[in-house]
A and B are shown apart, each in its own frame.
Chain A
Amino acid sequence: MSAHDLAALVPLVILTVTGALCLLLEVTGVPVGARKLAPRSHIVWCSELGLAATALVLLRLFARADQPALAFAGALRLDRFGLGLGLVVCVAAALAIPVAVGFLRSRDLDRGEYYATVVFAALGMIALALAADLVFLFVALETTSVAVYILAGIDRRSSRSPEAALKYFLNGAFASGILLFGVALCYGATRSTAIGALGPALRGGDGALLASAGLLLVLVGLGFKVAAAPFHMWAADAYDGAPAPASAFMATAVKAAAFAALIRVSVNAQIDAGSGWISAGWIIAVATMTVGNLAALAQRRVKRMLAYSSIAHAGYALGGVVAAIGGHTPALGAVGFYLLAYTLMTTGAFGVAAFFERADGAGCSHDEWAGAATRFPLVSLAMAIFLFSLAGVPPTAGFLAKLNLFACMIDGGFYWLAFVGVLNSLLSVYYYLRVLVFMYMRDPDPQLAGHGGAFVGAGLAIAALAVLLVGLLPGTMLDLAAQLRDVAPG
Chain B
Amino acid sequence: MNALRDHILSLVVFAPLVGALLLLLVPALERGAIQVIGLFWSAIVFALSLLLLRWFDGASGGMQLTEQHAWITSIGASYHLGVDGISLFLLLLTALLTPVALLASFASVEHRVKEFVICLLLLESGVLGALVALDLLLFYLFWELMLIPMYFLIGVWGYRDRVYAALKFFVYTMAGSLMMLFALLYVYATAPVAGQRSFDLPVLIAAVQNAPYPIGTELLLFGAFALSFAIKVPMFPLHTWLPLAHVQAPTAGSVILAGVLLKMGCYGFLRFALPLFPEASYWFLPPIAVLALVGILYGALVAMVQKDIKSLVAYSSISHLGFVMLGIAALEVKATTGAVYQMLSHGVSTGALFLLVGVLSERRHTRLISEYGGIAREVPIYTAVFVLIALSSIGLPGLNGFVGEFLILIGTFGSRVFDITALGPGAGRWLAVAAASGVILAAVYLLWMVRRVFFGPLRNPLNKGLRDLTLREGCVFAPLVILVVLMGVAPGYFLKRIEPAVAAAVSDVQQRARLAGMGRSLEARP
Contact = CB atoms under 8 A, between A and B. Distances in A.
Interface of A: 374, 388, 393-395, 399-400, 403-404, 406-407, 410-411, 415, 418-419, 422-423, 425-426, 429-430, 433-434, 437, 440-441, 473-475, 478-479, 482
B251 to A, nearest CB: 18
Contacts of A399: 141, 144
B171 A430 contact: yes
A485 B19 CA distance: 42
Contacts of B167: 430, 433-434, 437
A394 B144 contact: yes
Interface string B169-185: 01100110011011001
Contacts of B185: 403, 406-407, 410, 418
A441 B72 contact: no
Contacts of B145: 394-395
Contacts of B174: 393, 426, 429
Given A410-B189, A426-B175, A429-B174, A418 B156 contact: no
- Name A's interface SS: helix
A7 to B, nearest CB: 28
Interface string B150-192: 0110011000001100110011001100110110011011100
B140 A394 contact: yes
A388 B152 CA distance: 13
Nearest to A476: B74
A440 B182 contact: no
B147 interface: yes
A407 B170 contact: no
Contacts, number: 79
A367 B141 CA distance: 32
B178 A423 contact: yes
Contact of B189 (A407, A422, A425): A407
Given A437-B167, A475-B73, A407 B188 contact: yes
Interface of B: 71-75, 112, 137, 140-141, 144-145, 147-148, 151-152, 155-156, 162-163, 166-167, 170-171, 174-175, 178-179, 181-182, 185-186, 188-190
A425 B170 CA distance: 13
A419 B224 CA distance: 12
26 contacts: A388-B148, A393-B148, A394-B141, A395-B141, A395-B145, A399-B141, A406-B181, A410-B186, A411-B189, A415-B186, A418-B182, A422-B179, A425-B178, A426-B171, A426-B174, A429-B170, A430-B171, A433-B167, A437-B163, A437-B167, A440-B152, A441-B163, A475-B71, A475-B72, A475-B73, A475-B74
A395 B186 CA distance: 20
A400 B141 CA distance: 10
Given A394-B140, A422-B182, A426-B175, A407 B148 contact: no
Nearest to A421: B182
Contact of B155 (A388, A403, A441): A441
Nearest to A415: B186
A438 to B, nearest CB: 9
Nearest to B173: A429
Nearest to A405: B185
A426 B140 contact: no
Given A430-B167, A433-B151, A437-B155, A479 B74 contact: yes
A202 to B, nearest CB: 30
Contacts of A394: 140-141, 144-145
Contacts of A440: 152, 155-156
B72 A406 contact: no
Smallest CB-CB A-B distances: 4 pairs: A394-B141, A410-B189, A478-B74, A411-B189
B74 A482 contact: yes
A410 B74 contact: no
A478 B72 contact: yes
Nearest to A437: B163
A393 B147 contact: yes
Contacts of A478: 72, 74-75
B152, B155, B181, B188 — most chain A CB neighbours (10 Å): B181
A399, A403, A410, A434 — most chain B CB neighbours (10 Å): A403
Nearest to B142: A394
A423 B174 CA distance: 10
A478 B170 CA distance: 29
A403 B179 CA distance: 13
A473 B163 CA distance: 33
A393, A473, A478 — most chain B CB neighbours (10 Å): A393
A434 to B, nearest CB: 8
Contacts of B74: 475, 478-479, 482
Contacts of A406: 181-182, 185
B73, B148, B179 — most chain A CB neighbours (10 Å): B148
A395 to B, nearest CB: 5
B81 to A, nearest CB: 16
Contact of B112 (A374, A395, A419, A422): A374
Given A394-B140, A430-B171, A440-B155, A410 B190 contact: yes
